Chain A
Amino acid sequence: MEPVGFAYLGGGLSIGLAALGTGIGMGILVGKTVEGMARQPEVSGLLRTTMILGIAFVEALALYALVISFLLIFK
């Protein structure tokens, strides 16, 4: 395979693997938040804010991979 082909392959793999890990992380995060909300509905506002913040950090990892894959594909 030519080097350009490897770049395309790497771009696709990077975003795919990042989405895999991020999906698992986000699922755990939201699931635990829902557990907490069901147990103590009175703190659900605080939990929601914290969850959105956590999602932002987790999601950023997938987006870094997206940037890397853009760099690999469109250079």
Chain B
Amino acid sequence: MELMEHLQTHVLVPITIRGVDLSITNAVVMMWIACGLVFLTLVFAGRAGRLIPKGLQNVMESMVSFLRQTFIEEILGEENVSWFPFVATLFFFILYCNLLGLIPIPAIGFTATSNILVTGSLAVAVFFCVQGVGIYKHGVWGYLKKFVPKGVPLKVVLIPIMMVIEIISLFAKPFSLAVRLAANMTAGHLVILVFLSMIIMFRSYLIAPISVGMATVMMAFEVFVALIQAFIFSILATMYIAEASASEH
């Protein structure tokens, strides 16, 4: 099916080291571009350093201060401010990947975050951070005690069941993070593609104004979705970290 071809990576430079496929695909190139753009825009915005921001500094400063207010002041608390660079980096990287995927670039154009492997790696990074902060804050014994909920009636019967549920939910969190982002990006970009390929399917120019108009509306919606999904990924990472580092009460 030719619809799915647009969602598959294709290899640009094949590299295989001891049977491990490390080829440079178009997703990798798009992630490099996203990294470079995040670096450039944030560095240039920060270097201006005006007291009254304007232009690029204004955009970036309002975004960063919004993230800081939501993540640090409302969720993590000022004492965990050292987590802010990590979650803000997640936000900007995912946002730039999402937005770059909307631009049709010949040969390398691809939404890196629509690939489950990319979002899966990000989610695994978040997973290790969450477990790490849990062990660091409470010690190994305190970390393990979090799997046994308190105040459960019928202790002998319910505690094993609750432990199984807690362990499943531990692994369901990064899984749902990865699948949510990938599926959102895949679905949104596929809808634009379907609207545009209606012109080819119907073999008529008469349908073109309608389908291009609908594709434009979906494109505007996708810019919104790109922002929201980047925000949701990073706010959920923040909430998991806050939940793991919170003390027992």
User: A residues bordering B, Cβ < 8 Å?
Assistant: 46, 49, 52-53, 56, 59-60, 63-64, 66-67, 70, 74
Interface string of B23-53 (1 = CB under 8 A from A): 0000000000000000000000000000000
State A53–B237 Cα separation when bound (angstroms): 12
Q: A49-B70, A49-B74 are in contact. Are A67 and B236 (CB under 8 A)?
A: no
Partner of A64 from the list B70, B183, B186 (CB cut-off 8 Å) is B183
State A48–B159 Cα separation when bound (angstroms): 36
Would you give 6 A-B contacts (Cβ < 8 Å), ordered by A? Answer: A49-B74, A53-B232, A56-B232, A60-B176, A63-B187, A70-B186
State A74–B3 Cα separation when bound (angstroms): 10
Is the Cβ of B231 less than 8 Å from the Cβ of A52? yes
- Chain B interface size, as a band, is 10 to 19
Interface presence of B235 (CB below 8 A): yes
Chain B min CB distance to A74 (Å): 5
Known: A53-B236, A59-B184, A63-B184. 9 other contacts (CB 8 A): A53-B232, A53-B235, A56-B180, A56-B228, A60-B179, A63-B183, A63-B187, A64-B179, A66-B186
State A56–B225 Cα separation when bound (angstroms): 11
Chain A residues with Cβ below 8 Å from B183 are: 60, 63-64, 66-67
Chain B min CB distance to A44 (Å): 14
Interface presence of B4 (CB below 8 A): yes
Q: A63-B184, A63-B187 are in contact. Are A56 and B179 (CB under 8 A)?
A: no
Chain A residues with Cβ below 8 Å from B231 are: 52
